[in-house]
Each structure stands twice: as C-alpha cells, then as structure tokens.
C-alpha cells in the first residue's frame, strides 16, 4: 500500500516501495492559482534532500519544488509540459512532477504525515 508524506514547504511524496512520486499539495496549487508552466528535472539527475528539482510557474510567479528526500530522478511526468493545468485539477494524483529512487529511507522520518500536514495548513488558512 502506498503512503504519502509531506514537507512543511507543501511538497508531497507518494511512496511505493523504494521509489516515490513527488508533487505539490492541493493546498499549494490553490495558493499558486492557475499553473501555466512546469520545468521538470532530467531523468538520471541526483538531488539532495531539500534541493530545488523542479519549477512551477503560475500566472503570477515562479516557485521552486524541493525534493523531499535525496535520490535519483527515475521518471518525470511529461504530460505536465503539454498540460500544466493538471497540477490544478489533480495535484495529489495525476499532477505528480517526478519520481525518485529513495536513497536513504531514514530521511522519510523527517517528513510530516497527513495529520501533521493538515495541522500545518490549518495554521495558514
């Protein structure tokens, strides 16, 4: 069964064994508004935890997407390049940005579970 963890910077990682799909949360897409462009990482690139791996551009501004855990990028969601609005429509599902091979499972312990993330956004609303 897949499990989803969150960063306090509004990324999520949907974990499937030793890989995880990274995206931005529904709260984040709501704050950004209409997404008009997504810049994805290179497949094969290695990113450290917390490093900017992708960029999401709304009408108003550009925001970097940080990878929640260290690892190699094994796949990117090319559909977002043609239709970035998927991020608004289904941020937590079809709107994932890239998948990483999780280098160090222990890093997952630093992330928020769903209840903790909900508590966080409740303080921002």
Asked if 103 is part of the footprint of another protein (rule: CB under 8 A), the reply reads no
Choice between 42 and 105, CB closer to another protein: 42
Considering only 4, 14, 19, 36, the residue that binds another protein (CB under 8 A) is 36
Considering only 48, 51, 59, 78, the residue that binds another protein (CB under 8 A) is 59
Of the candidates 95, 91, 64, which has an alpha carbon nearest to the alpha carbon of residue 78?
Answer: 95
Asked if 34 is part of the footprint of another protein (rule: CB under 8 A), the reply reads yes
Cβ–Cβ < 8 Å for 91, 25: yes
DSSP strand E in 1-125: where? Answer: 3-6, 11-16, 19-24, 35-39, 46-47, 52-58, 62-66, 71-76, 98-102
SS3 21: strand
How many chain residues interact with another protein (CB under 8 A)? 27
Only one of the segments 13-21, 57-65, 69-77, 101-109 lies at the binding site for another protein (rule: CB under 8 A); that segment is 57-65
SS3 91: coil
Binding residues (CB under 8 A) for another protein: these are 9-11, 24, 28, 31-34, 36-37, 39, 55-66, 81, 88, 124
């Amino acid at each position: 069964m897949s499990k989803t963890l969150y960063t306090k910077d509004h990324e999520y990682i949907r974990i499937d064994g030793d890989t995880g799909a990274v995206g931005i949360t529904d709260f984040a897409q709501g704050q950004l508004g209409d997404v008009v462009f997504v810049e994805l990482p290179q497949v094969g690139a290695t990113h450290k935890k917390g490093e900017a791996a992708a960029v999401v551009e709304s009408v108003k501004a550009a925001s970097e997407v940080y990878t929640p855990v260290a690892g190699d990028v094994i796949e990117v969601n090319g559909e977002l390049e043609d239709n970035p609005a998927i991020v608004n429509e289904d941020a937590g599902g079809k709107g994932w940005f890239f998948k990483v091979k999780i280098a160090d499972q222990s890093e997952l312990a630093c992330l928020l579970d769903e209840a903790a993330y909900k508590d966080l956004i409740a303080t921002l609303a």
